[in-house]
Structure 1
Amino acid sequence: MAQIPNEERKTLILTGASRGIGHATVKRFSSAGWRVITCSRHGFPENCPWEAGPEDHIEVDLADPDNTLAAIAVMRERLKAQGGRLNALVNNAAISPKGEQGRRLSSLETDHRDWMTVFQVNFFAPIMLARRLIEELEAASGAVVNVSSIAGARVHPFAGSAYATSKAALAALTREMAADFAPRGIRVNAISPGEIDTAILSPGTERLIADIPMRRLGQPEEVAKAIYFLCTEQSSYINGAELSIDGGQHV
């Protein structure tokens, strides 16, 4: 594949890239020639499974607002090599505290500190990133994709209350962002994955297959393809939407 000049190469910033949906998303965009800047709490892995280097990874603790702001400053500096342009921001990172043996935590038993941490990572970090990177997104007529969840729409047997309510809030935030960012040429959408076959599935998830009309779990690659679609010209008039990727589980 021919080399693409830095000023012409499209760039994605992706949080939560190390596994599952995030990992598949890196591979999907990389295969299309995009530069993917990954963000996680851990440093650049020596055994990185895709072609990248430390210059394409930023260590950040999204649970820490000050550390998040410092990481955004690093992102903006690195984007200068792309002419200060950011084609897409995908807010995929999320946390969901569990009880003993992976038990879901209800609204009656979730500690206040856990509520605050979950909302910082799952809700506040996405808007912090988008607002601070708005100039770079505007320069590229870029797109933002927030990764919500079917747990944000109704009570889920495995997802805890803090996670579920943060995802419901993220879906509402997506609509607000779509209205506010669109006049600056930036589209904002969300995806709402259902039961996706990743290493972090809760024990017993296979029982939910009977509730899915397609009678199978989704694959991370199927979610990544939808994210890619929402970040490209193929979705140029889609704004403020939440795309369900659940095999019809909630029809």
Structure 2
Amino acid sequence: MSDEQKILVLTGASRGIGHATVRRFNAEGWRVITCSRHAFPEECPWGGGAENHVQVDLSDPKNTIEAIQDIRGRLNGKLHALVNNAGISPKGEEGARLNTLDTDLRTWGHVFHVNFFASVVLARGMREELANARGSVVNVTSIAGSRVHPFAGAAYATSKAALAALTREMAHDFGPLGVRVNAIAPGEVETAILSPGTDKIVDELPMRRLGQPEEVAAAIHFLCSDESSYISGTEIEVNGAQHV
């Protein structure tokens, strides 16, 4: 057993699933380096959080690459887990779903840079540190990546489907380095940004309730722990059987 403190790099840490993931890993004794396009909020309760926060705009490839160098300088040569949780799902007027007919190309590009390209850029940029720790990468996909969703737009859905495929490719390529790569696909999770009408979806779920951010964080922690040491290249559905 080693007394070495494990390190997690987490994108999309500013709310919802990200917040719950910080809480879970913090409780387990991990050092969490958070990444967000927002500055660290002064009211945030995480001890040492400001010193372990990197402000980065994942929609900007240049800024993302610059942030990697910042993060690597904080790692002491090892990264035990990278969780690609950041994601954006733009809406039309009055929250309308953006479909393939009315989503402009700039929006497609913006969504894919954040939801898809940033994940592989970050993992490749820190592959040496991940390999040194025999670490784990977890990509947060979505149930929208496998079916048309009433609220998630076409750009979001296709970016998450691409991220699921990327997870398989990364598992194949990073495996020889001793790095595991998996994904989780959340369904309807109770956060502050739920779309109106979600209650109608809940009525049709086998478990008849929304998921909690803490339940998603628990799945993420499992995939970053030694309990999942021979699991790689898989996508775990965390949706109360919504996918069936």
Q: Same fold (TM over 0.5)?
A: yes
Matched to 2:61, the amino acid is: P
Which of 28, 45, 48 does residue 32 from structure 1 map onto? 28
Q: Which residue of structure 1 lines up, in the alignment, with residue 49 of structure 2? A: 53
Partners of 1:126 and 1:53 in 2: CA distance: 22
- Hey, what does 2:162 align to over in structure 1? 169
**Which segments of 5 or more consecutive residues in structure 1 lack a partner in the other structure?**
none
Corresponding residue of 1:128: 121
Letter in 2 for 1:143: S
User: CA shift at 1:23, angstroms?
Assistant: 0.2
Cα deviation 1:109-152 (Å, max 9, x = unaligned): 00100000000000000000000000000000000000000000
| Cα distance in 2 between the residues matched to 1:191 and 1:133 | 21
List aligned pairs for 1:70-85, cutoff 5 A. Answer: 70-80=66-76, 84-85=77-78
Deviation at 1:52, TM superposition (A): 2.3
Name which of 5, 15, 19 aligns with 1:19: 15
User: Is it true that 1:117 corresponds to 2:113 in the alignment?
Assistant: no
**Matched residue type, 2:179:** I
Partner of 2:6: 10
Q: Secondary structure at the match of 2:83?
A: strand
Separation in 2, partners of 1:243, 1:42: 29
Q: Which residue of 1 aligns with 2:199?
A: 206
Amino acid at match of 2:126: L
What's the TM-score once normalised by structure 2's chain length? 0.98
**Mapping of residues 187-206 of structure 1, within 5 Å:** 187-206=180-199
Q: How far, CA to CA, are the matches of 2:152 and 2:7 in structure 1?
A: 32
* Distance apart, 1:44 and its partner CA: 1.5
Structure 2 distance, partners of 1:62, 1:52, is 23
Matched to 1:108, the amino acid is L
Unmatched tracts of structure 2, length 5 or more: none
Match of 1:106 in 2: 99
Deviation at 1:48, TM superposition (A): 1.2
Distance across 1 between alignment mates of 2:49 and 2:204:
42
Q: Distance in 2 between matches of 1:170 and 1:250?
A: 17
Q: Report runs of 4+ in structure 1 exceeding 3 Å deviation.
A: none
What is the alpha-carbon distance in structure 2 between the residues aligned to residue 211 and residue 129 of structure 1?
37
Residue 30 of structure 1: CA displacement? 0.1
* Counterpart code for 2:193: I
Quick one: which amino acid aligns to residue 117 of structure 1?
A: H
Give the whole-Å Cα distance in 2 for the aligned partners of 1:230 and 1:109: 37
Q: How many residues matched?
A: 243
Aligned-pair CA distance for 1:49? 2.5
Question: For 1:241, which of 234, 237, 241 is the aligned residue?
Answer: 234
Whole-angstrom distance in 1 between the partners of 2:116 and 2:217: 21
Residues 58-108 of structure 1, C-alpha deviations (whole Å, 9 max, x = no match):
00000000000000000000112xxx1000000000011101111110000
Residue 43 (str. 1) matches residue 39 (str. 2): yes
2:137 aligns with 144
Find the aligned partners of 2:13 and 2:47 in 1 and give their Cα distance: 14
Counterpart CA distance in 1 for 2:152 and 2:48 is 33
Identity of matched residues, %: 68
* 1:61-76 alignment runs, 5 A limit: 61-76=57-72
Two-structure CA RMSD over aligned residues (Å): 1.0
- Answering whether residue 83 of structure 2 is matched by residue 90 of structure 1, we say yes
